[in-house]
Chain A
Amino acid sequence: MQPHSFDYVRPQTLAKAIQVLRENGNRAKVLAGGQSLIPVLKLRLANPRVLVDINDLPGLAFIEERGDRLRIGALSRHRDFEQSKLIRAKYPIFSDVASVLGDPQVRNLGTIGGALAHADPASDWGTALLALEAELIARGPTGARTIPIDRFFKDPFTTALRSSELLTEIRVPRSKSGDGGAYLKLKRKTGDFATIGVAVQLGLDAKRNVAGVRIGLAAVGPTPIRATGAEKALVGRKAGPTAFADAAKLASEEGHPSSDLRGSEEYKRAMIEVFTRRALETATARAGR
């Protein structure tokens, strides 16, 4: 099917982009990779007045460590994470996400910022960034603001971004010794949304106790959530099968996975338990302690 008609602008500066967004309110849609937006337009599920193509905006595609943060430009493509040596070496959870997201063509164009702003309940990036305690930088008419990831997802396809704001950067704590993360996705086939997904980011102290942990769950409700009960049960405990089993059980009780074509609630909860345990094991192995 073909989209309705719309206007199209391709601003060369961030200021111009924000101006267009402000002028058009929610009649404007941001076009980054287009891998979520264009299918929606083709099915005529949305009818924007203007598309704001941000692909020419300078300085929005980067993956680098600076200070105490890993900083990621919102226009970084999924495949940039597959190819980045820094990511593969120190932040493999990002590689985990990139490798299970979409397919190669989608990964060539799709962006992390676009995926986050799209806010699918099964969002792989959203779930991983929840575990990573990310901060999202949004720029609008009144300047920049920082949105903690815990307050970013509101509802399916709805975020804390205002209609005149652009997501420009994602920041996560810089990896330190004893840190490990993993993202595991259960899906029916390549390119499918998650049946369930589990992201784990933990830090172990020298004695292999869990100093800190965050667990994100995908496709268990209107937005990705944290398994806070499981997190609390893990902190201070020695990383190992008993602790992981307890935490996994608690994680399986969180959220509200629905029974649908991807599986029954019962199965999804059972898989959250399995995948949480496996993600904890992988993250611990990567923590190298």
Chain B
Amino acid sequence: MATKRKKASPKRKRIRTENGTHTITVAVNGRTFTRAVEPRVLLVDFIRDELRLTGTHIGCDTSHCGACTVLVDGHAVKSCTMLAVQADGRKITTIEGLSEHGRLHPIQEAFKAHHGLQCGFCTPGVVLAALELLQVENAPSEDRIRTAISGNICRCTGYSSIVDSVAAAGEMMRPGKG
């Protein structure tokens, strides 16, 4: 969602079908899916129910908890506060898209090394929110990290270990490392 808007890509032909659904094409974790969806369907329900990617979680009704956070074109977005039809033509990254061929992404390694999770329910959302920060800054201050994850509620960790995990991930992701 940059300030400068690109023209709608030709891949995005939202077709309104007779029974009120729209056909959308979404790239999720590098794979393209074309599906018919009703406009009312939330992106999080599309991801979980239609694509059966259940790593993205639902923790509230009022867009506060951030457990549903995914990356849309690289930006952290609460997928419960976005319609699936809005995702047409976009690139989505869910937690399942981070590791490749069974190898953990550095941020996943860092969370493990620094005990950045306990029950695991908020974790996918926290990791992706933090990842957006680390994609632009790999040595963020503690305050910057806390701000980046301030849209994600964790009830288990008390956040100190999450901050440490993100800082460690930044270090691992710096050029010349790993």
Contacts and interface: CB of A to CB of B under 8 A. Distances in A.
The listed residue with most B CB atoms (<10 A of its CB), out of A53, A62, A108, A191, is A108
B39 interface: yes
Contact of B22 (A8, A42, A103): A8
B83 A105 contact: no
B27 to A, nearest CB: 18
Contacts of B149: 104
Given A8-B22, A8-B85, A56-B8, A2 B151 contact: no
A108 B76 contact: yes
Main secondary structure of the interface of B (DSSP, over half): loop
B86 A39 contact: no
A42 B20 CA distance: 19
Interface residues of A, number: 41
B75 interface: yes
Given A7-B39, A8-B83, A105 B151 contact: yes
A104 B83 CA distance: 19
B66 A105 contact: yes
Interface in A1-23: 1-8, 10, 12
Contacts of B31: none
A103 B151 CA distance: 5
Contacts of A10: 14, 85
Contacts of A7: 20, 39
A15 B75 CA distance: 30
A62 B14 CA distance: 26
Interface centre among B1, B64, B132, B150 (most CB of A within 10 A): B1
A109 B81 contact: yes
B40 to A, nearest CB: 5
B147 A191 contact: no
Contact of A61 (B3, B64, B85): B3
A55 to B, nearest CB: 7
A46 B1 CA distance: 26
A5 B63 contact: no
A34 B86 contact: yes
A58 interface: yes
A2 B78 contact: no
Contact of A43 (B61, B147, B150): B61
Q: Which of B7, B40, B150 has the most CB of A within 10 A?
A: B40
B129 interface: yes
A76 interface: yes
Interface in A258-282: none
B139 interface: no
Nearest to B21: A8
Interface string B137-150: 00000000001111
A215 to B, nearest CB: 28
Nearest to A59: B5
Given A105-B129, A105-B151, A106-B78, A2 B1 contact: no
Interface in A38-62: 38-39, 41-43, 51, 53, 55-56, 58-62
A3 B85 CA distance: 14
Contact of A105 (B5, B42, B76): B76
A31 B42 CA distance: 14
A106 B150 CA distance: 11
Nearest to A39: B63
Contacts of A105: 66, 69, 76-78, 81, 129, 151
A142 interface: no
Interface string B59-90: 00111101001000001111011110110000
A62 B76 CA distance: 21
8 contacts: A2-B40, A6-B39, A7-B20, A10-B14, A39-B62, A76-B3, A104-B148, A106-B81
Given A61-B5, A104-B76, 9 more contacts: A3-B40, A31-B83, A34-B81, A39-B61, A39-B63, A55-B5, A58-B7, A59-B5, A109-B1
Closest 8 CB pairs of A and B: A103-B151, A8-B39, A105-B151, A108-B75, A3-B40, A190-B150, A105-B78, A38-B81
Interface of A: 1-8, 10, 12, 31, 34-35, 38-39, 41-43, 51, 53, 55-56, 58-63, 75-77, 80, 102-106, 108-109, 190-191
